[in-house]
Chain A
Amino acid sequence: MAPPTETTARAEAVGAPPFERFYATHREEVYRYLVRMLGRQLAEDAFQETFLRALRAYRDLRHARHLRAWAFTIATRVALDERRRARPEPLEAPEIPVADSRPAYAELEHLAGDLPRTERAAVVLRYGYDLDYADIAQALGSSEEAARQAASSGVRRLRAKGAA
């Protein structure tokens, strides 16, 4: 069956891809991120909440740019809300999903579990998922400078701990 022609299709411009594609592309790394932030048990509810929030907002998306950063933004806000409500369970040993040129930082990222929540999110997003500071700022609801400071403060704290 051939689909209706463009002229018969609903007129509204839909810039975002079908949600299935967005979900299939980002679900695994968002899940891993939430496990790092919250531990496996809390991550399950947070995962569902993240993509339900994404669905609620998806109708109003008018373009397909920055969808990865958008997914991490929602996940970060859900995770920060969750961490306000509950003490995190002991974290599992996480793996590093990207091999990059910052092995020293990547090492630090393993230890980020004890950091204050915004520093932890900033360190994990920067060194675990390679988001830039503009995207991290959006995720944290802060300025880019504040995001940069949260990450560097987290790194300093971890280094101090590592040196102790």
Chain B
Amino acid sequence: MTLPASLDERFRARAAADGLLDVAYDLTDSPVGPLLLAATERGVCRISFDPDAERELEALARWFGARVLRSPKPVDSLRRELDGYFEGARQDFDLPVDLTPLPAFQRLVLEELARVPYGETSTYGGLAARVGNPRAARAVGGALNRNPIPIVLPCHRVVGAGGSLVGYAGGLDRKRALLELERGELRLV
């Protein structure tokens, strides 16, 4: 006698529909590998390349509260927008993001990052200048390295001063693939 899958699904859907979750998440496949997608009621709060969901759940519980449950529906719209992006059909994401646990400087950097257009790149120094502190390139790099919502907040569009790819917490292969996709040099789907 095991728990019927349909009952498990109904509970997960009901928990989200009743507004009882701090974070709803799901796991999904993508052309750049498996992704964990998570959202609060305020917006998208996490996209992770990390295949270790357990570690992610601990972090989400610390940031937003312990009521973290896998529940697909609240992240369906994010999944659809990402599908469109990987197909090359979508250049901008329309969904709100939830950056509330982040310190003010990191939020400022990520908000500025979101303005770097599709298919273009900026540099750490350039982004530092745009947040009003041209000498803060290193701090900007740190803020980007901890970007909780990669792809949607496009830290892959930030490159070194000479145009080199330099670091990407998701791995340089992914960074290269996303930039080539946006330049029309690569089809991922």
- Chain A residues close to B by CB (< 8 Å): 1-6, 8-10, 12, 14, 16-21, 23, 27-28, 31-32, 35, 44, 47-48, 51-52, 55-56, 58-59, 61, 92, 94-95
- The verdict on B69 contacting chain A, using a C-beta distance below 8 Å, is yes
A18 contacts B61, C-beta separation under 8 Å: yes
B146 contacts A4, C-beta separation under 8 Å: yes
B68 contacts A2, C-beta separation under 8 Å: no
Q: Which of A3, A8, A31, A44 has the most CB of B within 10 A?
A: A3
Partner of A14, one of B20, B50, B61: B61
Residue of A nearest to B68 (CB): A18
Residues of B within 8 A of A61 (CB): 66
Q: Distance (Å) between the CB of A70 and the closest chain B CB?
A: 14
Residues of A within 8 A of B20 (CB): 52, 55-56
Residue of B nearest to A16 (CB): B66
B53-83 with Cβ < 8 A to chain A:
54, 57-70
Residue of A nearest to B11 (CB): A48
Instruction: Map CB proximity to A onto B147-162 as digits: 1 under 8 Å, 0 otherwise.
Output: 1101000000000000
A19 contacts B68, C-beta separation under 8 Å: yes
Q: Which of B57, B62, B148 has the most CB of A within 10 A?
A: B62
Residues of B within 8 A of A6 (CB): 62
Given contacts A1-B49, A1-B150, A59-B67, contact A51 B11 (CB under 8 A): yes
B57 contacts A18, C-beta separation under 8 Å: yes
B64 contacts A10, C-beta separation under 8 Å: yes
- The verdict on B115 contacting chain A, using a C-beta distance below 8 Å, is no
